[in-house]
Amino acid sequence: MSEPLDPEMFDPLCPSDLSPLRFGDKWAGMVIRCLEAGPRRFSELRVPLRGITAKVLTQSLRSLERDGLVRRTAFAGPPRRVEYELTALGRSLLGPINVACEWAMDHWDELIDAREAGLKAG
């Protein structure tokens, strides 16, 4: 069994929200990071992704599965359960995601300034 996911894994002001680089949808990169340490159940993913609705998480997981990045495994019960895990292809994205996160952290102040300037202009 994997260690529980840290509820504070993604800071509300996380650079991932500021990064202009996206891996799939808004949540895909964070879902991939949640699956980095091994298979997880849907309810486990919701802990650090507290801003996501069940519907959107389902859509993101289905999209990642369709693209071959995530594998969904249903286990017959009782109790029935479903787990999600990264495929080899999904694991290959961890390096680029780490690079994108580092870039966002290195440019944090510039990204914040640009976002604030855009909000004031709009």
Higher pLDDT, residue 11 or 118: 118
Q: Half-sphere exposure (CA, 13 Å, Cβ side) for 67?
A: 17
pTM surpassing 0.85?
A: no
Q: What is the C-alpha to C-alpha distance for residues 72 and 82, in angstroms, rounded to an integer?
A: 7
- Tokens read off for 59: 């859509």
Rounded to 10 degrees, the C-alpha dihedral 76/45/50/69 comes to -120
Q: In the predicted model, what is the mean pLDDT of the chain?
A: 85
Residue-range domains of the chain with CATH: 15-121 (1.10.10.10)
pLDDT tens digit sequence for 58-114: 999 999 999 999 999 999 988 889 999 999 999 999 998 888 888 888 988 898 888
* Burial label, 37 (beta-carbon count in 10 A; 0-12, 13-18, 19+): exposed
Q: Residue 62: its pLDDT value, please?
A: 95
pLDDT tens digit sequence for 4-57: 877 776 655 454 555 555 667 888 988 999 999 999 999 999 999 888 999 999
